[in-house]
């Protein structure tokens, strides 16, 4: 079950994002189960919320977006666990990832080791397969 990284969540809701049409097609494929068993790590939802809050979005708007993600067919959520947090810390030390990228990577390693994202930072982590969404839509 591949994880969806933050970049695709933002691209899906932001029509001005250069990857909006890619994200829209990606989520259509996920929804109609052409791409199966996709998950969103809780860390991506937290990062999404923090970014929107820093830009002044209302709690209602943020909540609406999170609820919309939750309603997409064929998507589940991965919880943020002790194991994810500890593994993320080790990944930050070893690969110099950002805080949230390390959490997403740790979630991927614990699950199926696949990330759908345009963020190339995951390429330097052994055992993680990076899927560029532009190549699957």
Cα gap 124→103, rounded to integer Å = 15
Residue 137: pLDDT band with limits 50, 70, 90? confident
Cα gap 64→42, rounded to integer Å = 16
Domain that holds residue 71: 3-135
pTM above 0.85, yes or no: yes
- pLDDT tens digits for 36-92? 889 999 999 999 999 999 999 999 999 999 999 999 999 999 999 999 999 999 999
Residue 31: pLDDT band with limits 50, 70, 90? very high
How many domains does the chain divide into?
A: 1
Q: What is the pLDDT of residue 45?
A: 97
User: In CATH, what number is assigned to the domain containing residue 36?
Assistant: 3.40.50.1010
Backbone phi, psi, residue 59, to 5°: -60, -40
Residues of 93-117 as b/e, b for ≥16 C-beta within 10 angstroms? eeeebeebbbbbbbbbbebebbbbb
Handedness of CA 74, 62, 110, 122 (dihedral sign): positive
């Amino acid at each position: 079950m591949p994880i969806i990284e933050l970049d695709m969540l933002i691209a899906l809701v932001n029509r001005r994002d250069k990857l909006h049409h890619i994200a829209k097609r990606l989520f259509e494929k996920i929804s109609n189960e052409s791409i199966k068993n996709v998950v969103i790590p809780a860390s991506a939802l937290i990062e999404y919320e923090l970014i929107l809050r820093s830009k002044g979005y209302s709690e209602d708007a943020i909540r609406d977006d999170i609820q919309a993600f939750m309603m997409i067919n064929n998507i589940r959520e991965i919880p943020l666990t002790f194991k994810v947090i500890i593994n993320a810390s080790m990944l930050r030390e070893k690969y110099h990832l950002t805080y949230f990228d390390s959490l997403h990577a740790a979630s991927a390693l614990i699950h199926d080791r696949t990330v759908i994202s345009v963020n190339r930072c995951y390429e330097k982590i052994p055992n993680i397969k990076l899927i560029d969404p532009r190549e699957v839509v």
